[in-house]
Amino acid sequence: MGPTDHHTRTTDDRTLSADPPTADPTADDRTLSAAETMMWRLEADRHLSSTFANITVLDRPPDLDRLRRRMERAVRRIPRLRRCIRPGFANLTPARWVDDPEFDLDTHIRHIALPAPGTERQLLDLAALVLADPFDPDRPLWQFVVVDGLTAGRAALIEKLHHTITDGEGGVRLAMEFLDLQRDAPGPHPTGADGDEDDDDAASPPQPGTADADLAQADAVRTALASALRIPLGVVEQVRELLAEPERIPAATATAGDTLAGLLDQVATTDRACSPLWTDRSLHRHIVVGSAPFDDTRRTARRLGGTLNTAFLTLAAEAAGRYHTLSGAPVDALRASMAVSTRTVESGANAFTLARLLVPTAPMPIAERFRAVDDAVRCSADRSTLPGLEVVATLAAPLPTAILTRLARQQADTVDFATSNVKGSPVPLYVAGARLLHNHPVGPLGGVAFNLTLLSHDGSLDMGMNIDSVAVADPALLEACLADAVDEFTAAAG
């Protein structure tokens, strides 16, 4: 799976080559974290939707019965795949997962065919429609669409999830529930009759009805302020007191002071986004994809003294700068957001925060741009301690939804484009007998002009660009600019 806010680590290029610590996605956790609750509340503004997708291109149609059996097992192993969200009490408590009493796997796995000629453009336009279609809040927040009819006998799988289920790194692990390492790998039999102990121990205990999910108000408030938090309650109280009485900041504890400094750094930027062209925002979407060779990209990055993370952000900045120059409106810098992983072995389904930084977009040699981007990334990392999204969400939890969405839109208005990346598989993978040819992630826009997301796969860096086609008037030009950026950067490998 790919997602929106895939996680960049800015220290070295192991983001795309080593396994990060991940939490067990099968954990039976019924309470959404503060960050997940906030993401769900932000759905009130469709511009801020956190739905993401993967467009997986396959060498042939998958075996639908086999895929369905794999997903039957996945639903038993991963409780969030069979649950929907029930909002908390008056914004004082986190939302909760409750079982869908009418869960039907066939509602979530669909099978369609493209009309002739079955081009990539037709597939991407279909994916844009699938991604833009809001989830039914009374059903689990995921959908798979198997697409037949692509040219050369190929097929595709569009995997659509809401961010409350998991983030990009967790999505990759979730994907291993239905991915294989060989074309003819044995699959689970219906109802786990194959004796696989994973099936045997995956069955869930009887679940309470939705009425049982209601908590006494006092207990619910205590849950929201204590057990659901990823940060100590004392730190939250100190930060709130510091916000109310700024004169006390010099005497604050180091932990509270660092948390507040990072929080203020997050919200201090109030300037509008920098682009003179990408000024409007809409719900119109256009998806383009691209790929870069893993080895050549990494080789160039290392030769220039940086990482794959810097290379990826350089490609985004180069494409954005070329677009403005070719459109007759060159710009010196644009503001980008970058998802940064905060994952540890104790992390839940979502563990990330967002960093914002100005990236150079004036015309310059690609090597010079790489070094300038690398400096910007290092400066952003050194400027302050970024608070995790959980901290920000916890402090914002009491706000009415209308105010929360307005503040989120104000912050989104300061950003021109978003980036994120996540490590995928370095070896070939298969879905129900079909080999993955490309695996393009499509992240949520969240109120910016475009989101460029990267997922490594089998020697390739597969990218998906989710574009607001009102903000970016010529998506085809931006696509061409990204392809040219990849060519120039990889040619610098020597």
- In 245-385, where does DSSP find H-type helix? 254-267, 294-303, 308-326, 366-383
Residue 230 has pLDDT above 90, yes or no: no
Decide: helix, strand or coil at residue 71: helix
- The string over 307-340, giving b where at least 16 C-beta atoms fall within 10 Å of a residue's C-beta and e elsewhere, is bbbbbbbbbbbbbbbbbbeebeeebebbbbbbbb
Give the pairing of strands 450-457 and 460-468: antiparallel
Cross-strand pairs, 438: 57
400 compared with 276, residue with greater pLDDT: 276
**Does 3.50.50.60 match the CATH number of domain 13-200?**
no
Every domain of the chain and the residues it spans: 13-200, 253-419+457-491
Average pLDDT of 324-342?
88
Q: Rounded to whole angstroms, how far apart are CA atoms 287 and 464? A: 7
Binned at pLDDT 50, 70 and 90, residue 332 comes out as very high
Q: Rounded to whole angstroms, how far apart are CA atoms 484 and 92? A: 50
DSSP letter (8 states) at residue 33: P
Decide: helix, strand or coil at residue 429: coil
Lowest mean pLDDT among 162-176, 252-266, 378-392, 474-488: 252-266
Binned at pLDDT 50, 70 and 90, residue 494 comes out as low
- For residue 189, what pLDDT is reported? 58
- For residue 175, what pLDDT is reported? 80
Q: Taking the CB of residue 41, how many other CB atoms lie within 10 A of it? A: 23
- Helices 389-396 and 254-267: crossing angle in degrees, nearest 10, is 80
Average pLDDT of 126-152?
96
Binned at pLDDT 50, 70 and 90, residue 219 comes out as very low
Residue 373 has pLDDT above 50, yes or no: yes
For residue 241, what is the enclosing H or E element? helix 233-244
Give the pairing of strands 417-422 and 96-99: unpaired
Residue 408 corresponds to which amino acid? A
Residue 232 has pLDDT above 50, yes or no: no
Average pLDDT of 191-196?
43
Q: Which fold has domain 253-419+457-491?
A: Chloramphenicol Acetyltransferase (3.30.559)
DSSP string, 365-428: -HHHHHHHHHHHHHHHHHH--PPPHHHHHHHHTTS-HHHHHHHHHHHHTT-SEEEEEE---SS-
- For residue 342, what pLDDT is reported? 52
Tokens (6 digits) for 127: 């994916």
- For residue 118, what pLDDT is reported? 97
Proportion of the chain above pLDDT 90, given as a percent: 54
Cross-strand pairs, 293: 460
Residue 99 has pLDDT above 60, yes or no: yes
Which tens digit of pLDDT belongs to each residue from 444-492? 999 999 999 999 999 999 999 999 999 999 999 999 999 999 999 999 8
- For residue 207, what pLDDT is reported? 42
DSSP string, 362-374: SS--HHHHHHHHH
- For residue 28, what pLDDT is reported? 56
CB contact set of 468 (below 8 Å; sequence gap of 6+)? 278, 281, 282, 284, 285, 445, 448, 449, 450
Q: Are 354 and 339 in contact (CB under 8 A)?
A: yes
- For residue 138, what pLDDT is reported? 94
DSSP letter (8 states) at residue 234: H
Lowest mean pLDDT among 144-158, 287-301, 340-354: 340-354
pTM exceeds 0.85, yes or no: no
Q: Rounded to whole angstroms, how far apart are CA atoms 214 and 209? A: 10
Q: Taking the CB of residue 400, how many other CB atoms lie within 10 A of it? A: 11
Which tens digit of pLDDT belongs to each residue from 234-262? 444 444 444 444 444 444 444 444 444 44
Classify burial at 345, counting beta carbons within 10 Å of its beta carbon; exposed 0-12, middle 13-18, buried 19 or more: exposed
Q: Rounded to whole angstroms, how far apart are CA atoms 80 and 237? A: 31
- Which of 395, 91, 385, 38 shows the shortest CA–CA distance to 244? 395
- For residue 293, what pLDDT is reported? 96
- For residue 33, what pLDDT is reported? 86
